[in-house]
Amino acid sequence: MSITKKVVTTYAKSLFQNVNVENNLNKSFEVSKITSAEANSSNPNVYIIGEELLLIKAVLNSSKKLHSFFNNPTYAEQQKLDVLLSIFPGLTTTTKSFLKILTERSHLALLPEVSTEFNRVLSKFKNISNVKLIVASILQEKSGSTLLETLKELTQSKEVVLNVSYNPKLLGGLVLEYNSAAIDASILKEFSLFFNDI
């Protein structure tokens, strides 16, 4: 594991542990509360922190100028923090405090990776599995729901987040990716195996 990966993992786990998980998981989560004053309370929900980190990550990754600005060490970290706070003025106190810690340690450029890791930790805590599915054609609703139930049993998860993408080059079948393992049940693979045997 690289040093950067260790730092990112440490930040994400520390942030997750510092949010009062037990009290907040017992509360019901409502989307309408994200923009209310209740979101800025001293005990924010872990889901709100995750959403804020995802929003920051999306903005930093979608703009080339912002991405290069945050990765450029010649700009002061406080200047980078000021830009973030001007884009997101309604962040929770916990997220603002976390951003200040990253500023003090000159690690604001790690925010996208920290966001990814935080949401991975949250998914693991809630027993949610992320599975990538690549299909050649549109997935039928009945087969999709059957596939989800089968994946819940295989991964022993409460929920499965299915990221579906389409690749017509597969010709038929599907490719499943879960925990850095892949199952290729596509016609393209069968053809390639057939031609390798000839």
Q: Is 159 helix (H, G, I), strand (E, B) or coil?
A: strand
Domain-ending residue, one of 67, 99, 123: 123
Q: Are residues 49 and 21 in the same domain?
A: yes
Give me the pLDDT at residue 43, please. Answer: 60
Q: Tell me, yes or no, whether 102 and 22 share the same domain.
A: yes
pLDDT at 30 (0 to 100): 52
For residue 183, what are the domain limits?
A: 129-197
Residues 65 and 90 in one domain: yes
pLDDT at position 37, please?
46
Distance between CA atoms of 14 and 187, rounded to whole angstroms? 45
Helical spans, DSSP H, in the chain: 3-18, 21-26, 46-62, 64-71, 77-87, 93-104, 111-125, 141-155, 187-197
Spell out the per-residue pLDDT of the chain, length 198, in tens.
677 889 999 999 988 888 855 445 545 545 554 444 444 455 677 888 999 999 999 999 998 999 999 999 999 999 999 999 999 998 998 999 999 999 999 999 999 999 999 988 888 888 888 888 888 888 777 777 888 888 888 888 888 887 888 888 888 888 888 877 788 878 777 767 666 666
Say yes or no: 103 and 165 in one domain.
no
pTM reported for the whole predicted model? 0.67
The pLDDT score that the predictor gives to residue 23 is: 47
Structure confidence at residue 22 (pLDDT): 47
Check: CB of residue 52 under 8 Å from CB of residue 95. Answer: yes
| CA-closest candidate to residue 119, choices 17, 67, 47 | 47
Domain end residue (candidates: 88, 123, 158): 123
Q: How many domains does the chain have?
A: 2
Instruction: Please indicate, yes or no, whether residues 28 and 107 belong to a single structural domain of this protein.
Output: yes
Question: Looking at residue 22, which CATH number applies to its domain?
Answer: 1.10.520
Task: Give the pLDDT of residue 40.
Answer: 45
- Give yes or no: residues 88 and 176 share one domain: no
Instruction: For 159, list phi and psi in degrees, rounded to 5.
Output: -135, 155
